[in-house]
Amino acid sequence: QLQLQESGSGLVKPSQTLSLTCAVSGGSISSGGYSWSWIRQPPGKGLEWIGYIYHSGSTYYNPSLKSRVTISVDRSKNQFSLKLSSVTAADTAVYYCARAPTVTNWFDPWGQGTLVTVSS
Amino acid sequence: QSVLTQPPSVSAAPGQKVTISCSGSSSNIGNNYVSWYQQLPGTAPKLLIYDNNKRPSGIPDRFSGSKSGTSATLGITGLQTGDEADYYCGTWDSSLSAGEVVFGGGTKLTVL
């Protein structure tokens, strides 16, 4: 059974870069056929898709975040990562990683999520 | 505001049926598949419905999905107190030159 687990810094200062990693177990990122996404949820609010990456390294980002987002994959460690630069308080959220079959936009499974707070 | 419009809340009694709507446009729901997610308090979202009306294995048939034009609907029958959660719809939106995945604002289900 595929499982995803987010990790990274829970507290980031304004203007700095948020960095998170999603470790994949029970399956291989390199096997293909899927995209690997980051999705976030500000406290008490709805879901916002950040972007996804294929095992090949091809990426696709939310246009509203594109200038600040980098998603990368480390096939040797079976994980993928998110970097979000120039963060502000508006980037405070629970960040989830999730998988979607290629050419679809439904996500299953999801990681448990990790809260990132932007504060000085 | 979310691109997809959901009612903020719905409620019904145990054993009853409830529907949750998700309204969009031709740039999203009208030309793309819809998925639905259940988010129990303090947990990650869980896929309930994909491709408008398909249920992943393990999801009971009390949950159903449908789509008509630019709107989609999630139906839940035989309501249980354990169904109390936030429900989100999602799809692809191509209104910008570069598309994106979009979600509804979420609907809080209360089982009275």
Question: pLDDT of A9-48, one tens digit each?
Answer: 999 999 999 999 999 999 999 888 999 999 999 999 999 9
User: What is the structure's pLDDT at A50?
Assistant: 98
Q: Which residues of B fall within a CB distance of 8 Å from A112? A: 43-44
CA–CA distance, A110 with B78 (Å, rounded to integer): 26
- pLDDT higher than threshold 90 for residue B95: no
Nearest CA in chain B to A47: B103
User: What is the structure's pLDDT at A31?
Assistant: 85
Mean pLDDT, residues B75-88 taken together: 97
Question: pLDDT of A63-117, one tens digit each?
Answer: 999 999 999 999 999 999 999 999 999 999 999 999 999 888 999 999 999 999 9
pLDDT-derived band at A56 (thresholds 50, 70, 90) equals confident
> Is the Cα torsion angle B67, B69, B72, B77 positive or negative in sign?
negative
Q: Which residues of A fall within a CB distance of 8 Å from B92? A: 105
The encoded tokens of residue B63 equal: 């949950």
> Nearest Cβ partner of A63 from B51, B88, B100?
B100
User: What is the structure's pLDDT at B77?
Assistant: 98
User: What is the structure's pLDDT at A103?
Assistant: 82
Residue A119 exposed, middle or buried by CB count within 10 Å (0-12, 13-18, 19+):
exposed
Contact B102, B91 (CB under 8 A): yes
DSSP chain A: --EEEEEE-SEE-TTS-EEEEEEEESS-GGG-SEEEEEEEE-TTS--EEEEEEETTS-EEE-TTTTTTEEEEEETTTTEEEEEE-S--GGG-EEEEEEEEETT-----SB---EEEEE--
Interface touch B101/A63, C-beta < 8 Å: no
- Mutate which: A35, A64, A105, vs B, most B CBs within 10 A: A105
One-letter identity of residue A27: G
Q: Which residues of A fall within a CB distance of 8 Å from B106? A: 46-47
